[in-house]
Chains A and B, each alone.
Chain A
Amino acid sequence: MLQTRNLTRRFAGLTAVGGVDLDVAAGEIFGVIGPNGAGKTTFFNLLSGVFPCTAGEILFKGQPIHRLPPHRIARLGIGRTFQIVRPFGDLSVIENVLAGLGARFCTGVLPALGSHHRKRHRDAARALLARTALAPYEAEIARNLPLGLLRRLEIARALGLQPDLLLLDESFSGLSHKEAASLVELVRELRRDGMTILLIEHNMQITMQLCDRLAVLDRGEKIAEGTPEEIRRNKRVIEAYLGQEAHA
């Protein structure tokens, strides 16, 4: 589904991401972990086209996407959430989700002039809200929602384009135990429906229970890859994390 070869991003003399090779198979839940500042979010930004890469390439379903702008990559089937949530604050929950459907229903100048109040659009939005358990909050203004709901809203919005690959950037951060558990369920459901998921996460427990495979980044480089069990026992990984803790 997704392959990166020698993916590199250098910026102002620093190598944020250095020569990362990755292979994510379809239908996998793949985790990207690593100590703070390891370059994980930069990696996601490269995948979704937010940053241009300095070297290397990204192949999505066999197609190179590393030179494409974010909106084209999204339309090809990659959705993402953000580490610090970016909801459309002034809009209601259902409008946020409708925006996510926008690119699906609106592919040219004329369709852009169609109303988004039509029943089938609203129904599609409501379906997504139901899927992410946000239905009761439909009319709430996004900026008034607590973090847990906002994280789910971002996912609901990202699902609008029916992505084949979903990038979740620390979507479990700041969630209560219950919220995290229900989100884990949602992620598993999405995978059951055929989605491939790539996630960045700090919470080890969640990562270990959710992911099929993991890659570990440290200072921009991939230092390990494998199943959760393998990673847990990997000496280099432990050192990398301990190094962090010594400074913490």
Chain B
Amino acid sequence: MLDAYTITILSLMGIWSIVALGLNVITGYAGQFNLGIGVYMGTGAYTTAMLTTAAGFSFWEALPLAVAAAALMGFITGLPALRVREDSLAVLTIGMVFVFESLLVYLPYFGGPLGIGRIARVSFGGDAVGKEGYLLIILAALALTIAATLYLKRAWIGLAWESVRENELATSVIGIHPARFKLYAFTIGAAFAGLGGVLYAHFTRYVTPYDFGFLPSIYVLAMVVLGGLGTIRGAVFGACFLTLLPELFRFVQDYRNLIYGMALVLLMLYEPRGLLGDGSFVWRHAKAAATRLRALLWHGRQYAANP
């Protein structure tokens, strides 16, 4: 089958895709700046870590609880977010992720700066699931997340989110309560990020506060923005790309921040909608190519029918 290294990369790509999709709901669909997705991912990760190590829960038992905890955290952090406008919101979320990381380091229950280790392996039907099996679990979760976000986008809630994002005042005068939908976005986005956190915790089997701080949150934001804010394909592509990149090019690892930073700046200057965003260079040409291909196939069929 696949070798261990490939499995590791694919697993990480899957995990970060799920977190990125969560951020995409909050910042992409609903337009709420959130520079602290680490809070929700961390809540999911630490909850499952604590439940499975200290309280003897199994992965499957801890999973829904951890996701629910992350969703709750999303709701709680969403409440102050209602009171502030864009810029304050960005700074507020930065503040929240710092406080979160700080509390994890300083409060005794969370294992301090060393975090929680020796997190249980996942077992299914009595046997420990191997790396390949876990990859399947991750991919299943990813498929679920993609399906869910796709569904939400096509539902009224998705339309309400996009309206709030585009123009909050206009949204309120057509009878939609912006605050209610912002809270939905925070809660649901946080749940997905929390799911990613749970999978992360049982993958690395070791979590520290620094895994979920400001910089990791910015990395996720970079993933979503790189791929295309507000699109599912963008979030997944960005996550996969930025997970793969340091592996493909070792030197990228050494100059990681320099390259990421520069890439973000260049991207914002020349392709702010992301590489796969609507209207981006790549996406437009991809769509044009697809249209031409379809026309070709259709004409081909026509031709075959009437030579």
Contacts and interface: CB of A to CB of B under 8 A. Distances in A.
Direct contact of A and B (CB under 8 A): yes
Interface of A: 48-50, 69-71, 73-75, 79-80, 82, 86-91, 95, 98-100, 102-106, 111-117, 157-158, 160-161
Given A86-B167, A87-B167, A91-B166, A157 B174 contact: yes
B155 A74 contact: no
Given A88-B166, A99-B160, A102-B160, A112 B155 contact: yes
Given A112-B160, A113-B156, A71 B175 contact: yes
Q: Which of B157, B170, B178, B184 has the most CB of A within 10 A?
A: B170
A102 B166 contact: no
Question: Closest 4 CB pairs between A and B?
Answer: A103-B175, A88-B166, A74-B175, A70-B172
Contact of A103 (B154, B158, B176): B176
A105 B171 CA distance: 15
Interface in B260-280: 278
Given A87-B167, A91-B166, A74 B159 contact: no
A91 B159 CA distance: 9
Interface SS of B by simple majority? helix
Contacts of B163: 88, 91, 99, 102
B159 A79 contact: no
B177 A71 contact: yes
A71 B170 contact: no
Given A102-B156, A105-B156, 15 more contacts: A50-B172, A69-B172, A70-B172, A71-B171, A71-B174, A75-B175, A86-B170, A87-B166, A88-B166, A102-B175, A106-B160, A115-B154, A116-B158, A116-B159, A158-B173
A90 B173 contact: no
Given A71-B176, A75-B175, A88 B155 contact: no
Contacts of B174: 71, 74, 79, 99-100, 102-103, 157-158, 160-161
Contacts, number: 107
A116 B177 CA distance: 18
A25 B20 CA distance: 53
Contacts of B178: 71
A87 B158 CA distance: 17
Nearest to B163: A99
B169 interface: yes
B151 to A, nearest CB: 8
B162 interface: yes
Contact of A102 (B152, B154, B169, B176): B176
Contacts of A104: 175
Nearest to B168: A86
A91 B173 contact: no
Contacts of A99: 159-160, 162-163, 171, 174, 176
11 contacts: A50-B169, A71-B172, A71-B177, A74-B174, A86-B167, A88-B170, A90-B278, A95-B162, A102-B159, A116-B156, A158-B173
B185 to A, nearest CB: 12
A98 B156 CA distance: 9
B115 to A, nearest CB: 36
A116 B155 contact: yes
B306 to A, nearest CB: 31
A99 B165 CA distance: 12
A161 B155 contact: no
B274 to A, nearest CB: 13
Nearest to B31: A90
Contacts of A157: 170, 174
Interface in B163-204: 163, 165-167, 169-178, 184
